[in-house]
Amino acid sequence: MERKHETASPDRYDLLKEFAKHNRKEMTQSETVLWNALRKEIRGIKFRRQHPIGDYIADFLCLTKKMVIEVDGGYHNDPTQQQEDQWRTEYLESKGYHVIRFSNEEVYTDTKGVIRIIKEELTNIEDNYE
């Protein structure tokens, strides 16, 4: 049986769980657009929204493929935030996750292209672990 805190830091699980729950209720517009597209366009692969991994909360996670999808707003252009994002990506990759990032603008203006990239990445992951 999978423990609920399997991917999260056990000592911070309750806090991260509440924060993730809040984030699911208050998703950004771009997160909502991508969530709806994931559910509609990618069949047979389960994604979770706002899922804790370590001390972080991934925007979207496919546990079976170990894929994290992040949707970045404008503040991610700030150099300090870019460094934080790099550390976050390195941490997630060190735990075996494949991380892909999209900007809000990419999600808004080219949702089909974003979904196409996600499908391609999922196919690559399948090929790597067969």
Tell me: pLDDT of 5 over 90.
Answer: no
Calculate the average pLDDT of the chain.
Answer: 82
Q: How far apart are CA 127 and CA 105, in angstroms?
A: 30
Q: How far apart are CA 92 and CA 51, in angstroms?
A: 12
Tell me: pLDDT of 108 over 50.
Answer: yes
Q: At what angle do helices 29-41 and 111-129 cross, to 10 degrees?
A: 60
Please state which of the ranges 6-15, 55-64, 104-113 shows the lowest mean pLDDT.
Answer: 6-15
Count Cα neighbours of 37 within 13 Å in the Cβ-side half-sphere: 20
Which residue from 73, 21, 14, 85 is spatially nearest to 48, judged by alpha carbons? Answer: 21
